[in-house]
Amino acid sequence: MDREFWMELLEEAREIRRREADWAYIDMQPPRLRAALRYYVETGDFRTAARLAGLGVEEFLERAREAKIPLVL
């Protein structure tokens, strides 16, 4: 796959996360988790997001799941 394919795929992945996320739920979360979930929606970088939230990777992805943010890429 070439560079352009990956860039477009990353962009599409971001759009999917933005569209599917439950923003009302995200906005109700405590500040660190809320910031981490927003960061994750924008970047897809679950590892940094987990650190932001002060959670392990799997724990964070569970919270993302609860916020209806899918794992895409």
Partner 1 sequence: MTEAIADTSFLIDWARYSRRDLLWRLFDVVHLPESVLAEIYSEGTLAWIVDGLASRRMALFTETDDVVDLARRIVSLSRALPARGVDLPEAVCLAAGLKFGYVVLTENGGAVMAPSFLNELSPVKVMRALDVLHALAQAGHIGLRDEVARYQVETGHRFAKRDLRRLGLE
Which residue from 22, 32, 54, 71 is in contact with partner 1, where contact means CB under 8 A? Answer: 71
Q: By CB under 8 A, is residue 72 in contact with partner 1?
A: yes
For helices 46-53 and 57-66, give the axis angle rounded to 10 degrees. Answer: 90
CA angle 68, 54, 69 (to 5 degrees): 10
Q: By CB under 8 A, is residue 12 in contact with partner 1?
A: yes
Q: Which residues bind partner 1 (CB under 8 A)?
A: 1-3, 5-10, 12-13, 16, 20, 43-48, 56-59, 61-62, 65, 70-73
